Amino acid sequence: MTLMTNCRRSVPVFVFQRLIAAALFAVLWALPALASAQMAELSPSRHPVFVDDLGYAGLSRAIGQTIAYYEKLPSSRRMAYGPDAYTVEDLISGLRRFDQFMEKKPSAEAVQKFLRENARVYAHIEQSEPVSILFTGYYEPVIQGSRKKTDLFQYPVYGRPKDLVELDLSAFDAGCDSRSAVGRVADGRVVPYYDRRTIDTTDLLQSRAEVIAWAADPVKLFFLHVQGSGRIRLRDGDMIAVHFDITNGRPYKSIGKYLIDKGKMDRSNMSMQAIAAYLEKHPGDIREVLFSNPRYVFFKKSRGGPKGSLGVDLTPGRSVALDRDVSPAGAFLFICAKKPTDKNAAGRKHDWVPFCRFACSQDAGSAISGKNRADLFWGSGASARMAAGHMQHRGRIYYLVILPKSG
């Protein structure tokens, strides 16, 4: 078996990451080049006002999930925050200290005072200001399914194929660092795995992968791929929770961009809901549009709610996906962006209002690249779907390190 790499110049095989809904909308924004932005500590005079629009609901749960992730790491491992670094042990101690403080239900003024005296606050800085972040959203979809294939339920939800192989490219070339690749073995060589068109138009995977369930709607199944996790409501009333396992390693291509480039949709009206509405009105275009994205997601059954890339449960409104190359895994955050008002729960896409809240970096995604991108998990249900589908707003992210003890 042979594998050719030259990672110092380029990676000739595809690196896999979890898909999330924000990738559909990346085409909508001309993002500024922020390569020069560096993470730096902010003086107390530049701290934001730490007011939480959720009234701290769900915060302890989110902090607990980050602690659970940290506890799986060596306690001496150091996490970099700009020029500074903190051990996992100290990060855990700091988060527990803050969580215990919040159990006392302190006033907003007391929270501000505690963080001013006991936290170090960081941000990615450009031109002396925290960088502007494009926030998008994702959610946990629920689709209709069946344990058996029928005339109505014809679209498979596949588990990981038996012939799919993962490769640690650094084992072949030190220049590849920690990069991974996905493929299959053919004639003694590692080749790319089958693309979406091949998988969906042949029965090649019938003997290679478990079919977890059969879906009724190919578009809703596609969006399950995009979100990365969700639930399948079976005909007998049972629910199957599925979570991202791996992709076919093919590059992600936005179907939103495809529709815009083909002149079939307008950029100003682009959203997940708008794409679904277009495909409902033009069923003859479904295969063409979906096949424009060669990436395919394979799932595994899971217990509990959706999990992020850190392997911990996501908390609605608190879990954020960030680029792990520029943001510390599990980082405790304070985010400011915009959220829909209650009117938007009925499907209206205006009346977005500013909000700020505490959050945790607990996920990642292929569309979330660089210091100026973030994806907020909204949860499940109609309101979450609406908010996730339409969220395309600028905001700020602050990184908080709670000191393990006073002083």
Residues 253-275: tens digit of each pLDDT: 999 999 999 999 998 888 888 99
**pLDDT at 240 (0 to 100):** 94
Report d(CA 178, CA 68) in Å as an integer. 24
**pTM, entire model:** 0.78
Give the distance, in angstroms, between the CA of residue 142 and the centroid of all CA atoms in the same chain: 17
**pLDDT at 134 (0 to 100):** 95
Q: Which helix (H) or strand (E) holds 229?
A: strand 229-234
Q: What's the rounded mean pLDDT across residues 217-231?
A: 93
Q: Which helix (H) or strand (E) holds 377?
A: strand 373-380
Report the share of the chain in percent with pLDDT over 90.
71
Is residue 355 within 8 Å of 341, Cβ to Cβ? no
**pLDDT at 342 (0 to 100):** 65
| Average pLDDT in the chain | 87
Q: What's the rounded mean pLDDT across residues 198-225?
A: 96
Q: What's the rounded mean pLDDT across residues 48-53?
A: 96
With a cut of 90, say whether residue 170 has pLDDT above it: no
Neighbour-count burial of 338, counting CB atoms closer than 10 A to its CB (0-12 exposed, 13-18 middle, 19+ buried): middle
Report d(CA 336, CA 53) in Å as an integer. 10
**pLDDT at 305 (0 to 100):** 81
Q: What confidence tens digit (pLDDT) does each residue in 272-323 have?
A: 889 999 999 999 999 999 999 999 999 999 887 888 989 999 999 999 999 9
More confident residue, 41 or 12: 41
Band of pLDDT at residue 137, cut at 50, 70 and 90: very high
Q: Walk me through the domains of the chain, giving residue ranges and CATH numbers.
A: 26-137+308-402 (2.40.40.10)
3-state SS class at 22: helix
Is residue 399 within 8 Å of 354, Cβ to Cβ? no
Q: What confidence tens digit (pLDDT) does each residue in 33-49 have?
A: 334 469 999 999 999 99
**pLDDT at 228 (0 to 100):** 86
**pLDDT at 91 (0 to 100):** 98
3-state SS class at 143: strand
Torsion of CA 169, 171, 177, 182, to 10 degrees: 20
**pLDDT at 350 (0 to 100):** 59
With a cut of 50, say whether residue 29 has pLDDT above it: no
Report d(CA 247, CA 254) in Å as an integer. 15
More confident residue, 243 or 344: 243
Is residue 224 within 8 Å of 290, Cβ to Cβ? no
Query: Of 1-10, 203-212, 375-384, which range is least confident?
Result: 1-10
Most confident residue range from 176-190, 312-326, 378-392: 312-326
Report d(CA 340, CA 388) in Å as an integer. 10
With a cut of 60, say whether residue 6 has pLDDT above it: no
Band of pLDDT at residue 231, cut at 50, 70 and 90: very high
Report d(CA 315, CA 303) in Å as an integer. 15
Band of pLDDT at residue 129, cut at 50, 70 and 90: very high
Band of pLDDT at residue 176, cut at 50, 70 and 90: low
Query: Of 9-13, 60-64, 195-199, 241-245, which range is least confident?
Result: 9-13
**pLDDT at 10 (0 to 100):** 33
**pLDDT at 14 (0 to 100):** 29
